[in-house]
Amino acid sequence: MKNFCGRANPTTGALDWVEESEEYDYHQEIARSSYADMLHDHDRNEKYYKGIRAAVARVRARGEKVIVLDIGTGTGLLSMMAVTAGADFCYAVEVFKPMADAARRIVAKNGFADKIKIIDKHSTDVTVGPGEDMEVKANVLVTELFDTELIGEGALPSYEHAHQSLVQEGCEAVPHRATVYAQLVESPLLWSWAQLQPLEVDGTRLSPPPAVGRCGGSHSVCDIQLGQVSPRSFTPLGPLCTMFSVDFSKPISSAPRSYSSRFVARANGQAQVVLSWWELDMDPGGTVVCSMAPSWTYPHPKMAPWRDHWMQSVYFLPAESKVTEGQEVTLTVCHDDYSLWYRLHSPCQQHPQGDLLLSRPCCVCQAHLVWTRPRFGELNDKLRTESYVSALRSVLKKDSVCLGVSDGSLLPVFAHVLGAKKVFALENSRMSKQVIEQVLESNSMKGGVELLEIRPEQLTSNDLGGEQISVLMGEPHFSTSLLPWHALFFWYCRTALAGLLRPDATILPCSATLHVVAVEFQDLWRIRAPCGTCEGFDVTPMDEMVQKSLDFRESREAEPHPLWEYPCRALTPSAAIMTFDFTQCVPQQPIVRRGSLPFIRSGRCHGVALWLEYHLTRDVSVSTGLTGPVDEQGCCEWSRHRKQGVYFFRSGWQSSGDGRAAVSYDVTFQPASGDIKMDFSMDQTQTIGGTL
Active-site residue list = 144, 153
Helix (H/G/I), strand (E/B), else coil: 116 = strand
Query: Could you say which DSSP state residue 509 is in?
Result: S
CA distance 80 to 541: 15
Instruction: Indicate the burial class of 611 (C-beta count within 10 angstroms; 0-12, 13-18, 19 or more).
Output: buried
What kind and span of H or E run contains 91?
A: strand 89-93
350 Cβ contact list (under 8 Å, min separation 6) = none
CA distance 681 to 692: 19
203 Cβ contact list (under 8 Å, min separation 6) = none
Helix (H/G/I), strand (E/B), else coil: 690 = strand
Distances 310 to 148, 280, 291, 298, 521 between C-alpha atoms, Å: 5, 12, 10, 17, 18
Q: Which of 399, 446, 454, 400 is nearest to 425 (CA)?
A: 454
Query: Could you say which DSSP state residue 635 is in?
Result: B
> In this structure, are residues 236 and 184 in contact, taking their beta carbons and an 8 Å threshold?
yes
CA distance 398 to 417: 12
118 Cβ contact list (under 8 Å, min separation 6) = 73, 76, 92, 94, 100, 103, 104, 107
What kind and span of H or E run contains 689?
A: strand 689-690
Q: Which of 437, 385, 430, 429 is nearest to 411 (CA)?
A: 385
97, amino acid identity = K
CA distance 3 to 55: 43
Strands 138-143 and 67-71: parallel
Distances 629 to 236, 452, 573, 575, 633 between C-alpha atoms, Å: 32, 40, 10, 12, 11
> In this structure, are residues 184 and 271 in contact, taking their beta carbons and an 8 Å threshold?
yes
Beta-carbon count within 10 A of 12 CB: 17
CA distance 229 to 241: 20
> In this structure, are residues 219 and 360 in contact, taking their beta carbons and an 8 Å threshold?
yes
Query: Could you say which DSSP state residue 551 is in?
Result: I
In 442-557, the DSSP E strands lie at 450-452, 469-473, 501-508, 511-521, 533-534, 537-538
What sign has the CA pseudo-torsion 597, 600, 604, 609?
A: negative
688 Cβ contact list (under 8 Å, min separation 6) = 596, 597, 598, 659, 662
CA distance 10 to 227: 34
HSE at residue 681, side-chain half, CA atoms within 13 A, is 8
CA distance 373 to 313: 13
674, amino acid identity = G
